[in-house]
Structure formats: structure tokens, C-alpha cells
Amino acid sequence: MAKINNTNNASGSLTIDPGASGDSFLQFNLASTTNEFIIGVDDTDSDAFVIAQGGALGTTNTFRMSAAGERTLPLQCFFLNSINAEANASGDGTTHNVGSITATTSIIDRNGDMTEGDGAGTGATFTAPVDGFYQFNFILQIDIDATGGDYIAIQVATTSRTFYVTLYPTENVIASLKGLSNYLGFSGTFFEDMSASDTAVFQFISGPSGSKTDDIIDGYISGGLMG
């Protein structure tokens, strides 16, 4: 039940009370029949404060705040993919798109904006759903060849620019690692201002040693809309 409370001709306030039980909400419609958004307290969700699409709380929530104040955006763009082994990915200075030899594995893809790569030449690719600021995280472990190279790099190549982290190990360093462990891991976090439909591709480069001898062992790529 909704009540308008007026005291001494002051501005009115609106109280929405369903009674003994049930959701307390406001419904926003267009053209009298189209349910667009609904906002209120979801009685069946521990009294969380919710903004949802359509005509019911808890069906397609776009914002949820628990009774304790924790806030989540259930439809906010976010992805997490694990990187699978890719043999002979680089070593000769070739730019390798992660997922183009062996497709990555999707763990989370909240808004359906990330492809895993096809393992047949096309790498894992993120496509921005809206204009905004995005964060990308890249963790990679590689098997480096004993002959070494001039550099090893991970990159996030977006429509507008390329972000990278580069290492310059010497051949002696590579050779000494070979006697202990030939695995090298490194990571990077990058922020980018993207427009809707802009893309981001995750890349690995090493070399030039003359041939593709460096392997990807595993890793993770993740990211999402920050604001």
C-alpha cells in the first residue's frame, strides 16, 4: 500500500508498504503496457534493495544492495579466461595472438563480450559493449628456449593503442634458467578508454632468435568495464 504523508503543508513523502509480506516497489512503464524498470526491496532476496529490468524484482537485476550494504552490478561487463598451452607461439619476433593455436577457456563471461579464440588463427578477443573505461589483466607463463632472445613481451592491443610489458633477458640468464627451470612468468594490468565495438586482443612476443621456439604454458586474461 502506498501512502502520501503530509505534515503542516510540508513537502509530501511517499511510503510504499506491501503489508505483512511481499516486495515493496515502484514500477516504471512506457506506453502503459511495457515494463521497463522496477525498483524496490526484494522480500524473497533477504530484503535486498534492487533495480531490475522488466516487471519483477530478482529476474534481471541491474543493481543489488544487500541489507548489510554490499553493492553489486549483476549485468556489469566482466570476463575471465584461462590460457591453455600453445607450442612454438613465438621466438622469432612474431606477434602471437593468445588463443590462436589453442583456444582459451572461458571461466566467466558475464555480458558475452569475450571470445575464446578458435585455435585456428584467431586469438581471444574482447569487444567493448559500450563507451567507457576498461581494465585488462594479463598473467602468462612461458617455456623459454635456451638460446635466448633480445626481448619477451606481453601486450594488450586495443583499437586505439597497444599496451605492453617487456623483459630483456640476456642469453646467459636464459641459459642459467634452463638448468633450474625454463619457465618464466610475468603479468600486466592495463586501463583503456574504449568506444562501443572497440576490441582488445591479448598477445605474446619473444625473439628474435630465428625460429619459433618459445611455448606458452598457461595463464589468465581478465577484464571488464570500470565506469
Which residue segment(s) compose the domain that 20 sits in? Answer: 2-72
- Out of 49, 72, 95, a domain closes at 72
The total of structural domains in the chain comes to 2
Amino acid 48: pLDDT:
93
State the average pLDDT over residues 193-205.
Answer: 97
pLDDT in tens, 13-46: 778 877 778 888 898 888 777 788 999 999 999 9
Cα 141-146-150 angle, rounded to 5 deg:
75
Give the CATH number, domain containing residue 154: 2.60.120.40
Looking at per-residue confidence, does 94 or 1 come out higher? 94
Q: Tell me, yes or no, whether 62 and 103 share the same domain.
A: no
pLDDT reading at 209 higher than 50: yes
Q: Tell me, yes or no, whether 64 and 99 share the same domain.
A: no
By percentage, how much of the chain surpasses pLDDT 90?
Answer: 60
Which residues fall within 8 angstroms of residue 56, CB to CB, at 6 or more apart? Answer: 38
Q: Tell me, yes or no, whether 99 and 196 share the same domain.
A: yes
- Out of 25, 42, 72, a domain closes at 72
Q: Tell me, yes or no, whether 131 and 22 share the same domain.
A: no
For 38-50, give the DSSP string. Answer: EEEEEGGGTTEEE
Is the pTM higher than 0.95? The answer reads no
Predicted confidence band at 148 (pLDDT cuts at 50, 70, 90)? low
- Out of 17, 50, 72, a domain closes at 72
Looking at per-residue confidence, does 129 or 209 come out higher? 129
